[in-house]
Structure 1
């Protein structure tokens, strides 16, 4: 069986960064499935074909019918995240060309990416009955000339999605963004992962194991204050709960809050005003509490063990994210 490292990478990214409970690589539709909304799919195909032909001279579909287009469909990594915030759907194609993304000439490369976006959207509509989701094309190296052509096309496609009542977002993640939005978040979010099926993570852990040995002499003289650092872009990919479990926990372990504030964090009023949550941020690990409201793994602040509240939300009606990030910034816990 052929194993693609890019697919393994995004399998782990979906599981640990986007917190998808259901993830499949190499997803393909079955010919036995009933296609839904076929009339709408044909209409949207016509709309996009006309737009890209008239504006850019791109024959995206090359006279393929809807059935021919869907027969070619394959999504490298598909993820579904279920939470109190609802269902989030992610569909990813990843390409790794060492000399830079190349499907032929410059125009052909851009058309192929747009075709992948639309075909994936048609699959989500036709086989899942979905009208929203995030569709990603990712590559660690795409030349600037192709990026410059691809960006306006992607923006146009997103506008066409909205105009046709589809809440899909097409995204290209490439070059520096690939590092900031994919690699960095996954290395932050996947601490403690030991699943041997996650080949990218096992490879990283192997490198890190020997890297730790090589760094030992330097670390004897200076112990880093925190284990993690992240840019604003990296944080934007992480769920709020993961930010709390990683950065807030480390900040508290490293003494960013004094004893007075730690005591205040054990009160509901302070926790609500500073973090927006409806429960005390901290409870003693030894005291009884509603275990469903707190992370199971305790941590230590100045020799005392606590549990951290797990009730974090980031929806328009209840968004705790700005308050959490504000506290972390004020206390120099994030870059």
Structure 2
């Protein structure tokens, strides 16, 4: 739909529709003065082209319970998100994206939207922390489904996003 060829089809369709109401010369004059530009304001990355962030090292099952000096992923998300919210570092566009399941999957490798309002169709009480965050005057619940196991390590995804936010 974003190709030049498709744009021409849309213009032809518009001209055909307008011919019922206006003279063909007027329509041609108007379309010479108009610039019709069709573009996406979202960067869409096909799944097959998406590269997940590489982790430096996965912990193995043998050493998984050994302390790493890091907060567990859930506590880390809550602590750092508090800082982002307190310092107004998350813009409105990002808040909208964080409420989408597809964006949250690609960005954090989590199965549910990062943020959900209580009346959202995505909101399931058991999937979100009970204490909401107030962001720009609205209340949002944050996904609690974070894992840090060898087969599913969400930390590198979150840390990559966090670097972009700061």
State the TM-score, normalized to the length of structure 2: 0.56
Residue 276 of structure 1 and its aligned partner are, at CA, apart by 1.1
Length, aligned pairs only:
105
SS in 1 for 2:84: helix
Partner residue in 2 for 1:293: 127
> Match for residue 278 of structure 1?
111
- Helix, strand or coil: the match of 1:237? coil
- Asked if residue 326 in structure 1 is aligned to residue 160 in structure 2, the reply is yes
Which structure 2 residue ranges, 5 or more long, are not aligned?
1-60
Q: Closer, same or farther in 2 for the Cα pair 1:284/1:132, shift >3 Å?
A: closer
Does the 8 A contact of 1:295 with 1:310 survive in 2?
Answer: yes
Larger relative contact order, structure 1 or 2 (CA cutoff 8 Å, min sep 6)? 2
Matching residue of 2:18: none
Aligned equivalents of 2:119 and 2:146: distance in 1?
Answer: 23
Partner of 1:214: none
Q: Could you say which structure has the higher helix fraction? A: 1
TM-score scaled by length of structure 1: 0.29
Secondary structure of the 1:324 match is helix
In structure 2, the residue matched to 1:113 is: none
Alpha carbon RMSD of aligned pairs, Å?
A: 2.6
Aligned pair partner of 1:241 in 74, 97, 100: 74
Structure in which a larger fraction of residues adopt strand: 1
Alpha-carbon distance in structure 1 between the residues aligned to 2:64 and 2:152: 21
Q: Which residue pairs with 2:93 in the alignment? A: 260
**What does 1:150-169 align with in structure 2 at a 5 Å threshold?**
none
Q: CA shift at 1:265, angstroms?
A: 0.4
Which residue of the partner structure matches residue 101 of structure 1?
none
CA apart distance, 1:291:
0.6
The one-character-per-residue Cα deviations of 1:127-169 (angstroms, maximum 9, x if unpaired) are xxxx9886xxxxxxxxxxxxxxxxxxxxxxxxxxxxxxxxxx6
- Tell me, what secondary structure is at the counterpart of 1:300? strand
- 2:138 pairs with one of 298, 304, 322: 304
